[in-house]
């Protein structure tokens, strides 16, 4: 997605406010010259004896309200006018700040929400390969770059332009030659800033990289502290860190030295410009060509201009960052999200699953080939096969995490592809091998999909998943938060919480994708026993490495290289020659040998 498009979209809804901010900054900039002009009038014409200078309207107005004499006897009125214009200018500058903040914060909010929403709706496959760190970086610091630009930098550029636009006519109308000499440094300062900050980008980048490396070394040294200790590498680590830290220090110092050169040179330029105004203005004043008030006006006006101009150079040099940030955000938004056809249906799902010659290819490789089987509601289907045989893919198709290429999958007689994705997933309790727990309490984690569940329901599913006692053993029980600020659950405990979570959905289809791998055999058996009554007749798919787990299934599918090579019950499969009986017998044999061994020992003792 193009950078400008991202920005344009995100601005939708804030454009009017943003325009108001720009108008206010313009008015504030214009008005900021009113006070210096009034001071000049006060010094020259009220306190001094010069004729009133400026456009005829102003001169006439002053005459009409009693002339200079009136002001002279009543100096307060001039002061009141000065304070008033400052206040009015202040009001505009406040409004500008308020509007710019409102617009840019809303923009950032929209960008953040849009990114979050978009990322959540990207395909399952995208998230399998996604780099969390990178995505977070783009959604935080890149959004921040854009926000900062819109909130501060863009407005600052506007202010600088308005101020130049306001100052030049005023100064040139007062005295063109003096004005020309007075603003001579402005383009120089601007170009100097622009060139300097453009050139310094490289150093900035080096500092960033060095900072990143320092963090990596630190992070690794801290997380690997046991390794460091066991090998006695404290000195080595300290030296390694020291080297990075020193490099970082030197780079930052280099950057600061460059900044020192920049600030001293640009300050020198600015101060010299003021000096030129004072000296040249003095000679002009001595010659009677300008007044003291005019001199003061020039000093004040040019001082007011110099800083925004310097900033403008810096901002324009930084523009590159902004467009890079927008481009990086655009790259995420350009990835297509999951979508359903308009005709997608939401049928009642009871759990009758039919695979009919289903094939699926991924990254040019056939993962599933002509898979066919039927599972009526309530059946337990076990999937068995070596790594890469397609077991996980098969169940992922059922949850519409991937879409099959050929053949047909029917759920209760309806073609799966026509069923709305979310609708389907809501009816499939899918327990991943490595489930993710959120930084919420354990109760909230269990009731993620059914947030209004009653306490009894939560306890019941936790008991079924054999995790209730574990949870109760924590100080705060179900209210214990999970994560860095709470408890760290073991792999097996996480899996059990995830099972409880899936059960709470009471889905017509349940999938356990090797989701008891980190649970010991005894607990595994307990959970399976509890499940047989608690799954409410759900059609259940189990992937496991434990033969005893699989043996009890109503239907066992043996997969190899994407094909179903054998299917049947434990008994029928044992009767066939094939992978299943071979495996089973091999283990039987081992078990028998072990029994023999035991017996032999028994006899010996």
Partner 1 sequence: MHAFEEKDYSKKIDLGLWRKLLGYAKAYRRHLLGISLVMVLVAVIDASFPVMTRYAVDEFIVPGNAAGIGLFAAGYAALVVMQGFLIWVFITLAGAVETGVCYDLRRRGYRRLQELSLHYYDTTPTGWIMTRMTSDSERLGETISWGIVDIMWGLTSMTAFGVFMLVMDWRLALIVLSVVPPLAILSYVFQQKILKNQRIVRRTNSRITGALNEGIMGAKTTKTLVREDANLAEFQEITGDMRRYSIRTAVIQSLYVPIVLTLGSVGTGLALVFGGQGVLSGAVSFGVLVAFVSYTVQFFDPVREMARVLTEFQSAQAAAERVMDMIETEAEIVDDPDVVARFGDVFDPKRENWTRASGEVSFRDVTFTYTGGEEVLQNFNLRVDAGQSIALVGETGSGKSTIVNLLCRFYEPSSGQILVDGVDYRDRGLLQHYSNLGYVLQQPHLFSGSVRENIRYGRLDASDTEVEEAAALVGATTFIRRLEKGFESEVGEGGSLLSVGEKQLVSFARAILADPVFFVFDEATSSIDTEAERLIQNAIRKILQGRTSFIIAHRLSTIREADRILVIADGEIAEDGSHETLIAHRGMYYNLYMNQFAAQEESLPVWSET
Which of the residues 462 through 501 are near partner 1 (CB under 8 A)? 474, 484-488, 490-491, 498, 501
Among 249, 406, 529, 536, binds partner 1 (CB under 8 A): 249
Among 150, 171, 189, 295, binds partner 1 (CB under 8 A): 295
DSSP letters, 446-511, are HTSS-TT--HHHHHHHHHHTT-HHHHHHSTTGGGPBBSTTSBPPPHHHHHHHHHHHHHHT--SEEE
Instruction: For residue 347, state whether it binds partner 1 (rule: CB under 8 A).
Output: no
Rounded to 5 degrees, φ, ψ at 355 are -100, 130
Instruction: For residue 233, state whether it binds partner 1 (rule: CB under 8 A).
Output: yes
Residue (2 or 246) nearer to partner 1, CB: 246
Q: Which stretch binds partner 1 (CB under 8 A): 192-200, 309-317, 409-417, 419-427?
A: 419-427
DSSP H helices, 506-578, are 521-534, 547-551, 570-575
Give the number of other Cβ atoms within 10 Å of residue 532's Cβ. 11
Instruction: For residue 96, state whether it binds partner 1 (rule: CB under 8 A).
Output: yes
Q: Closest approach of Cβ 357 to partner 1, in Å?
A: 26
Q: Are 314 and 152 in contact (CB under 8 A)?
A: no
Instruction: For residue 344, state whether it binds partner 1 (rule: CB under 8 A).
Output: no
For residue 543, give the nearest of 357, 440, 396 by alpha carbon: 396
Among 1, 30, 59, 252, binds partner 1 (CB under 8 A): 252
Residue (200 or 359) nearer to partner 1, CB: 200
Q: Which stretch binds partner 1 (CB under 8 A): 232-240, 352-360, 363-371, 460-468?
A: 232-240
Rounded distance between C-alpha atoms, residue 403 and residue 426, angstroms: 17
What is the SS3 assignment for 566?
strand
Instruction: For residue 332, state whether it binds partner 1 (rule: CB under 8 A).
Output: no
Q: Closest approach of Cβ 271 to partner 1, in Å?
A: 4
Rounded distance between C-alpha atoms, residue 255 and residue 246, angstroms: 14
Q: Closest approach of Cβ 43 to partner 1, in Å?
A: 7
Distances in whole angstroms, Cα of residue 369 to Cα of each of 182, 207, 414: 81, 53, 21
Q: Closest approach of Cβ 475 to partner 1, in Å?
A: 8
Residue (39 or 359) nearer to partner 1, CB: 39
**Applying CB under 8 A, what is the total number of residues that bind partner 1?**
162
Instruction: For residue 82, state whether it binds partner 1 (rule: CB under 8 A).
Output: yes
Instruction: For residue 235, state whether it binds partner 1 (rule: CB under 8 A).
Output: yes
Among 119, 305, 462, 516, binds partner 1 (CB under 8 A): 119
Q: Closest approach of Cβ 249 to partner 1, in Å?
A: 4
Residue (233 or 321) nearer to partner 1, CB: 233
Q: Closest approach of Cβ 28 to partner 1, in Å?
A: 9
For residue 3, give the nearest of 315, 324, 317 by alpha carbon: 324
Instruction: For residue 30, state whether it binds partner 1 (rule: CB under 8 A).
Output: no
What is the SS3 assignment for 65?
coil
Query: What does the radius of gyration of the chain's CA atoms come to, in whole angstroms?
Result: 38
Instruction: For residue 68, state whether it binds partner 1 (rule: CB under 8 A).
Output: no
Q: Which stretch binds partner 1 (CB under 8 A): 130-138, 193-201, 352-360, 566-574?
A: 130-138
Q: 231: burial class by Cβ within 10 Å (0-12, 13-18, 19+)?
A: exposed
Rounded distance between C-alpha atoms, residue 247 and residue 544, angstroms: 51
Rounded distance between C-alpha atoms, residue 62 and residue 65, angstroms: 5
Residue (345 or 586) nearer to partner 1, CB: 586
Is the backbone of residue 436 left (phi > 0), alpha (psi -120 to 50) or beta?
beta
Instruction: For residue 228, state whether it binds partner 1 (rule: CB under 8 A).
Output: yes
Measured CA angle at 388 (ends 576, 418), to 5 deg: 95
Which run of H or E residues covers position 392? helix 391-398
Among 1, 30, 206, 299, binds partner 1 (CB under 8 A): 299
Restricted to residues 533-572, the positions that interact with partner 1 (CB under 8 A) are 545-548
Restricted to residues 143-202, the positions that interact with partner 1 (CB under 8 A) are 151
Rounded distance between C-alpha atoms, residue 269 and residue 185, angstroms: 7
What is the SS3 assignment for 435?
coil
Among 4, 61, 234, 357, binds partner 1 (CB under 8 A): 234
Residue (366 or 444) nearer to partner 1, CB: 444
Residue (386 or 477) nearer to partner 1, CB: 386
Among 271, 324, 334, 575, binds partner 1 (CB under 8 A): 271
Among 66, 67, 90, 537, binds partner 1 (CB under 8 A): 90
Rounded distance between C-alpha atoms, residue 204 and residue 254, angstroms: 10
Spell out, one character per residue from 374 to 403, where the chain touches partner 1: x when CB under 8 A holds, - when not. Answer: ------------xx-----------x-x--
Restricted to residues 514-533, the positions that interact with partner 1 (CB under 8 A) are 517-518, 520-522
Q: Which stretch binds partner 1 (CB under 8 A): 197-205, 261-269, 340-348, 534-542?
A: 261-269
Among 165, 227, 334, 599, binds partner 1 (CB under 8 A): 227
Instruction: For residue 591, state whether it binds partner 1 (rule: CB under 8 A).
Output: yes
> What residues contact 388, with CB distance under 8 A and at least 6 apart?
561
Residue (60 or 337) nearer to partner 1, CB: 337
Among 26, 308, 435, 508, binds partner 1 (CB under 8 A): 435
Distances in whole angstroms, Cα of residue 371 to Cα of each of 86, 172, 343, 570: 80, 85, 27, 20
Q: What is the sign of the dihedral through the CA atoms of 516, 522, 525 and 526?
A: negative
Q: Which stretch binds partner 1 (CB under 8 A): 4-12, 123-131, 373-381, 566-574?
A: 123-131
Q: Are 146 and 323 in contact (CB under 8 A)?
A: no
Among 5, 66, 582, 592, binds partner 1 (CB under 8 A): 582
What is the SS3 assignment for 414?
strand
Among 65, 253, 336, 454, binds partner 1 (CB under 8 A): 253
Distances in whole angstroms, Cα of residue 430 to Cα of each of 458, 511, 541: 18, 5, 9
Here the tokens at position 441 are: 């309490």
Instruction: For residue 598, state whether it binds partner 1 (rule: CB under 8 A).
Output: yes
Instruction: For residue 334, state whether it binds partner 1 (rule: CB under 8 A).
Output: no
Q: What is the DSSP letter of 418?
A: G
Instruction: For residue 12, state whether it binds partner 1 (rule: CB under 8 A).
Output: no
Instruction: For residue 256, state whether it binds partner 1 (rule: CB under 8 A).
Output: yes
Which run of H or E residues covers position 565? strand 563-568
């Amino acid at each position: 997605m193009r950078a400008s498009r991202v920005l344009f979209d995100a601005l939708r809804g804030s454009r009017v406010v943003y325009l108001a901010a720009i108008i206010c900054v313009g008015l504030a900039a214009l008005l900021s010259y009113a006070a210096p002009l009034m001071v000049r009038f006060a010094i020259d014409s009220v306190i001094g004896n010069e004729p009133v200078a400026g456009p005829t309207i102003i001169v006439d107005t002053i005459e009409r309200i009693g002339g200079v004499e009136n002001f002279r006897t009543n100096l307060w009125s001039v002061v009141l006018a000065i304070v008033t214009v400052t206040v009015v200018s202040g009001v505009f500058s406040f409004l500008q700040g308020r509007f710019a903040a409102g617009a840019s914060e809303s923009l950032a909010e929209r960008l953040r929400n849009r990114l979050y929403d978009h990322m959540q709706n990207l395909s399952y496959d995208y998230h399998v390969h996604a780099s969390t760190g990178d995505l977070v970086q783009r959604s935080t610091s890149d959004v921040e770059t854009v926000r900062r630009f819109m909130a501060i930098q863009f407005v600052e550029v506007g202010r600088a332009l308005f101020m130049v636009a306001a100052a030049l006519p005023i100064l040139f109308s007062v005295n063109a030659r003096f004005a020309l000499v007075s603003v001579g440094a402005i383009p120089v300062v601007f170009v100097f800033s622009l060139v300097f900050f453009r050139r310094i980008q490289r150093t900035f980048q080096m500092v960033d990289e060095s900072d990143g490396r320092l963090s990596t070394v630190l992070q690794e040294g801290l997380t690997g502290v046991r390794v460091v200790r066991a090998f006695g590498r404290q000195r080595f680590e300290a030296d390694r860190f020291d080297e990075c830290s020193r490099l970082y220090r030197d780079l930052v110092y280099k950057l600061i030295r460059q900044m020192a050169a920049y600030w001293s040179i640009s300050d020198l330029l600015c101060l010299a410009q003021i000096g030129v105004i004072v000296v040249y203005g003095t000679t002009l004043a001595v010659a009677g060509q300008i007044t003291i008030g005019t001199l003061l006006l020039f000093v004040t006006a040019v001082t007011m201009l110099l800083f925004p101009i310097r900033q403008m150079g810096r901002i324009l040099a930084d523009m590159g960052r902004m467009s890079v940030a927008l481009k990086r955000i655009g790259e995420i938004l350009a990835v297509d999200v999951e979508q359903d056809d308009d005709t997608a249906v939401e049928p009642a799902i009871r759990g009758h699953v039919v695979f009919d010659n289903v094939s699926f290819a991924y990254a040019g490789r056939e993962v599933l080939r002509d898979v066919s089987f039927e599972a009526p509601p309530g059946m337990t289907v076990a999937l068995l096969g070596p790594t890469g045989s397609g077991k996980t893919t098969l169940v992922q198709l059922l949850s519409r995490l991937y879409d099959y290429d050929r053949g047909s999958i029917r759920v209760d007689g309806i073609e799966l592809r026509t069923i709305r994705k979310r609708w389907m997933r809501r009816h499939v309790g899918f327990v991943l091998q490595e489930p993710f727990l959120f930084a919420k309490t354990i109760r909230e984690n269990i009731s993620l999909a059914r947030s209004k569940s009653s306490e009894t329901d939560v306890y019941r599913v936790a008991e079924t998943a054999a995790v209730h006692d574990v949870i109760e053993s924590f100080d705060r029980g179900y209210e214990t938060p999970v994560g860095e600020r709470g408890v760290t659950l073991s792999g097996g405990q996480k899996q059990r919480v995830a099972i409880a979570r899936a059960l709470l959905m009471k889905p017509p289809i349940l999938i356990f994708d090797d989701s008891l791998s980190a649970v010991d055999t005894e607990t595994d058996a307990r959970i399976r026993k509890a499940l047989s009554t608690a799954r409410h007749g759900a059609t259940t798919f189990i992937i496991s490495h434990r033969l005893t787990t699989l043996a009890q299934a109503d239907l066992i599918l043996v997969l190899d290289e994407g094909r179903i090579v054998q299917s049947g019950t434990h008994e029928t499969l044992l009767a066939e020659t094939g992978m299943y009986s071979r495996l089973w017998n091999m283990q039987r044999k081992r078990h028998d040998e072990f029994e023999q061994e035991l017996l032999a020992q028994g006899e010996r003792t």
